[in-house]
Amino acid sequence: MRKTALGIILLLLAAGAAAALAARAQAPSAETILDRVDRNAVPGTKIIVAEMTIHGRRDSRTIKAKSWIQGEEKAFTEYLDPPRERGVKMLKLGDQLWTYSPDADRTIAISGHMLRQSVMGSDMSYEDMMEDSKLRQAYEAKVSGEEACAGRPCWVLEMTAKAGETAYPARKAWVDKERYVVLKEERYAKSGKLLKTLEVKSVVSKGGRWIQDRAVFRDVLKPGSGTEMVILSIELDPVIPDVVFSKASLRK
């Protein structure tokens, strides 16, 4: 009887180990996961109206903007509210960025150390806005584990930048296993020091893609509880005239 019971236990242990090995074998590679994340995040064109609430140490303020985006190379943003920010515009063409201020009636090229400056006092820098959104192209990655995040089962990815000039040499991301969207992220300096975090609060389905429509981006080196970004409306794959992505649009 004891031998029979021991045999059953050994069989169960073997079955469990086999199931674990099978699950590991079926787990997608880090490259496959990043490919799926990139396909989800980078449509051909999109028009977004969004609000950015900056939670400072003493108070909060909300800025509303409309953006026209074409792939990874072209983006045009116009700030709508509050009145003091209305009419400020930004244009991204490849690795070049310009801002226009109606008060000064002046267009400024943002480059070099200026890219590290805060956008409108938020936790985001111009460098963050310029970053290539295709993670697979910019990072080597490995799956370091599986964890629940926001109540969802996730792959945990550790990423190392392929190029030295990348804004964040290392990143850690929690990717929803079913929807292949990043739900949480940590961004690190080369030294390993944590610089910024992203926490996704809400995800919606739109046009066959999963979109992060509410998230908090936080610069851990500055006071405050981060910058909350909320998408109010989004149009996927619209036709956007080429003239939108021109320096002439900054002064219109």
Which pLDDT does position 133 carry in this prediction?
64
Domains of the chain: 30-251 (2.50.20.10)
198-217: pLDDT as tens digits = 999 999 998 888 999 999 99
* pTM (predicted TM-score): 0.84
Cβ–Cβ under 8 Å, residues 104 and 87:
no
134-167: pLDDT as tens digits = 888 899 999 999 999 999 999 999 999 998 788 8
